[in-house]
């Protein structure tokens, strides 16, 4: 049973011939993608766009067709185990400047191999690996 649902984005941009992915540093210490809870009456992509805007200030986001991945995990909160499901989308932007929210400690734009190494959790690495062919098929 899922107790909490969130939506997120693997966001990338082109920097010349390079493709860079945005990672956020969360207060708990991990590096991950943009994500957050889905609000009442909000669609998955609407939530992902809102979270991107709130967490990074980035608004010029274009979803890449063919990528919608779910991960599930559990965590402890107030002595209870919470089952969480997060649906991720792949999207590109032309914006490099990030206006970081107070929900995060830092951010970084990294090429695929560097991003893969920096991501803390294996489920997020798997998301990035699944996006690889779609991303590199998006080069100008």
Per-domain residue ranges of the chain: 4-136
For residue 39, give Cα distances in angstroms to 26, 32, 91, 129.
20, 21, 21, 28
Average pLDDT over residues 83-102: 96
CATH 3.20.20.120 fits 4-136, yes or no: no
Confidence tier at 140 by pLDDT (50, 70, 90): very low
Q: What pairing do the DSSP bridges indicate for beta strands 31-32 and 18-25?
A: antiparallel
Residue 62 to residue 49: CA distance in whole angstroms:
10
pTM for the structure as a whole: 0.92
Residue 8 to residue 131: CA distance in whole angstroms:
14
Query: Is pLDDT larger for residue 75 or for residue 67?
Result: 67
pLDDT at 138: 55
Long-range (24+ apart) CB contacts under 8 A made by 37-40 are 37/4, 37/5, 37/6, 38/5, 38/6, 38/7
Q: SS3 of 120, please? A: coil
């Amino acid at each position: 049973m899922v107790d909490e649902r969130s939506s997120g984005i693997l966001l990338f941009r082109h920097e010349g011939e390079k493709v860079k992915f945005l990672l956020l540093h969360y207060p708990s210490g991990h590096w991950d993608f943009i994500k957050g809870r889905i609000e009442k009456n909000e669609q998955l992509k609407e939530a992902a766009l809102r979270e991107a805007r709130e967490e990074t200030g980035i608004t010029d986001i274009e979803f890449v067709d063919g990528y919608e991945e779910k991960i599930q995990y559990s965590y402890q909160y107030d002595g209870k185990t919470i089952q969480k499901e997060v649906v991720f989308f792949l999207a590109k932007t032309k914006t490099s400047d990030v206006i970081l929210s107070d929900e995060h400690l830092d951010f970084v734009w990294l090429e695929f191999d560097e991003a893969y190494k920096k991501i803390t959790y294996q489920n997020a690495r798997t998301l990035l690996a699944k996006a690889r062919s779609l991303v590199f098929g998006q080069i100008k």
